[in-house]
Amino acid sequence: MRVTFTVNGREQVADDVWEGESLLYVLRERLGLPGSKNACEQGECGSCTVRLDGVPVCACLVAAGQAEGREVITVEGLADYARRRDSGVSDSGASDSGRSGSGERGAEHPGDGAGELSVIQQAFIDAGAVQCGFCTPGLLVAADEMLERNPSPSDADIREALSGNLCRCTGYEKILDAVRLAAARQEEAV
Amino acid sequence: MDFLRPASWEEALAAKAAHPTAVPIAGGTDVMVEINFDHRRPEYLLDLNRIGELSEWAVGEETVELGASVPYTRIMEDLRAELPGLALASHTVASPQIRNRGGVGGNLGTASPAGDAHPALLAAGAEVEVESVRGSRRIPIDDFYTGVKRNALAADELIKTVHIRKADGPQQFSKVGTRNAMVIALCAFGLALHPGTRTVRTGIGSAAPTPVRARVAEEFLNAALDEGGFWESGKVITPSVARQFAMLVSAACNPIDDVRGTAAYRRHAVDIMARRQLGWTWEQYRRGGHPLEGAA
């Protein structure tokens, strides 16, 4: 079957999709977006976390056909999504305008955006929260969504928001540091 | 495999009637795992995501009409006052990502004894509204679970709404597992005090072939509270009564040994949960009887 949906602000068409296929498989194998990781395939690990119509979900538990007509944000589009949000452009309009024009960016983010990182991504690097990196994309998407809802999270809020994402390297402490750092930097920027 | 995408409830019922083997999919928590692991190859997947009314709820005079696909996130955030037991249970479901997609309809459809919603539904009192092209009916929650992962649905029926009695007193839910998130219940227990009718109701999860109520324990406690005038006086429940109640709850279990734990451990843990929850809920009743806000 054919599935048409919006990924990171661009309309995408996937053909010859098997009816039992997951959204994760379509993203990775058909659309060339391998940022969302495939680990447990049962919703346990969170490494495939994407946003479906704004809501964090495990892409491995979404049937491809359920994504028809909907909007998906993956880690590949996270920086662009965060930039639009920070510059006050409605994220729900992302699909209409396609990739952002230069006029939509905040002054602190000059350039064309390629290779630029979002606040949460930079914080993960600066705090040493990335080791093997496999869990990182899912954690970034989940953490970014939490900071969008809750700009000043308590440690309990962070733990709760990231409770669906497993990391086997870091022991989580540096991930918590990274989220705290991102929250602090966002507050400074306001 | 065919992927059916009805745009309305009527279309969904027609599709289920035409293809009774179609497997409904909403949050995907159970169905997608079975497909990903090649444990199941349904002929038809019936996507319910486009049917908006399944994600809606309404708070009535005596009940909450909860759409089958209302995500657990909404229950724990928006229905804590009306459905405190179910809100607590919802908070223990898997992870935020899964709570954002999964709903009570999935727990009921799968009918696993380990489904987190079941003890809370049994304790609160509920009816499951199911429908087919032949018509609609309401199945009392006590009659809904018919065997291990079996329920009272006919092949052409879909779960539409769960009518849950609004809390008229304190409710509790707890579950035993190895960590706070991403845990399939080793065992679970829910308790609801119903001061209006001077009764208590219970629900046991993961400790019998189906979710069950501990009816003998309920009857014992109802009689003991009545005879001792506890509802009127609000005095502390005699420790021997609480112990006997917990023992009878444990006796209602019919657990197995499996990879998650032994039958003996499950019986023991349910006993402890029952005694503690009776203490917590009764203390709250004594302090004013207001329904408990979820705190997990």
Annotate A4-69 with DSSP letters as a single string.
EEEETTEEEEE-S--TT-BHHHIIIIIS--TTS--S-SSSSS-TTEEEETTEEEEGGGSBGGGGTT
Maximum C-alpha span of chain B: 62
Residue B114 lies in a domain: no
Residues of chain A with CATH 1.10.150.120: 78-189
Residue A42 touches chain B, beta carbons under 8 Å? yes
Q: Which pLDDT score, from 0 to 100, does residue A142 have?
A: 98
Across the interface, do B32 and A61 touch by the CB < 8 Å criterion? yes
Nearest Cα residue in chain A from B71: A55
Interface of A with B in 111-170 (CB under 8 A): 142, 160-161, 163-166
Radius of gyration of chain B (CA): 19
Mark yes or no for CB contact A62/B101 under 8 Å.
yes
B225 within a domain of the structure (yes/no): yes
* β-strands A49-52, A71-73 pairing: antiparallel
CA–CA distance, B276 with B281 (Å, rounded to integer): 9
In chain B, the number of structural domains is: 2
For residue B263, tell me if it sits in a domain.
Answer: yes
User: What is the model's pLDDT at position A114?
Assistant: 60
pLDDT digits (tens, 9 = 90+) for A88-135: 765 444 444 444 444 333 434 444 456 799 999 999 999 999 999 999
What distance in Å separates residue B248's CA from the closest CA in chain A?
Answer: 35
**CB of A74 less than 8 A from some CB of B:** no
**Rounded to two decimals, what is the model's pTM?**
0.93
Res. A87 pLDDT band, cuts 50 70 90: confident
- Contacts A62 to B, Cβ<8 Å: 28, 32, 101
- What's the CA gap between B151 and B160, in Å, rounded? 15
Instruction: Quote the pLDDT of residue B292.
Output: 47
DSSP string, B115-169: -THHHHHHHH-EEEEEEETTEEEEEEGGGTEEETTEES--TT-EEEEEEEEPPSS
Average pLDDT of the residues in A75-100: 72
Among B40, B33, B99, B101, which Cα is nearest to B296's? Answer: B99
Handedness of CA B91, A61, A45, A179 (dihedral sign): negative
pLDDT for res B121: 98
**A78-189 domain in CATH 1.10.150.120?**
yes
B41 CB neighbours in chain A (<8 A) are: 20
Residue to test with chain B: of A66, A140, A149, A157, most B Cβ within 10 A: A66
Question: With an 8 Å Cβ cutoff, are A164 and B29 in contact?
Answer: no
Residue span of the structural domain in which B272 resides: 171-287
Flag whether B232 is in a domain. yes
Residue at B234 is within a domain: yes
The answer to whether B129 and B108 have CB atoms below 8 angstroms apart is: no
Nearest to A116 by CA among A80, A156, A164, A88: A80
Option in A61, A66, A163 nearest B47 (CB): A66
**DSSP assignment of B38-104:** TS---SEEEE-TT-GGGG-EEE-SSEEEEETT-BHHHHHHHSTTT-HHHHHHHHTSS-HHHHTT-BH
Q: What is the CATH number of domain A3-76?
A: 3.10.20.30
User: Running DSSP on this structure, what letter comes out for residue B177?
Assistant: -
Instruction: Please give the Cα distance from B264 to B255 (Å, whole number).
Output: 8
Q: How far apart are CA B203 and CA B258, in angstroms?
A: 21
| Rounded CA separation B180/B35 (Å) | 27
What CATH number is given to the structural domain containing B3?
A: 3.30.43.10
| Neighbour order of strands in the sheet with B187-194 | B171-176, B187-194, B199-205
Residues 267-296 of B with CB under 8 A from A: none
CA B2 to chain centre: 31
Check CB contact under 8 Å for B32 and A22: yes
- From A14, A145, A151, A139, select the one nearest A81 (Cα to Cα): A145
| Tokens coding A5 | 């949906």
pLDDT at site A182: 98
B105-138 tens-digit pLDDT:
999 999 999 999 999 999 999 999 999 999 999 9
Q: Which of A19, A142, A163 faces B3 most closely, judged by CB atoms?
A: A19
pLDDT for position A105: 39
Residue range A135-139: mean pLDDT, rounded: 98
* pLDDT beneath 70: ranges in chain B: 289-296
Two tokens at B238? 């005699």
Give this complex's ipTM. Answer: 0.93
Instruction: Specify the domain boundaries for CATH 3.10.20.30 within chain A.
Output: 3-76
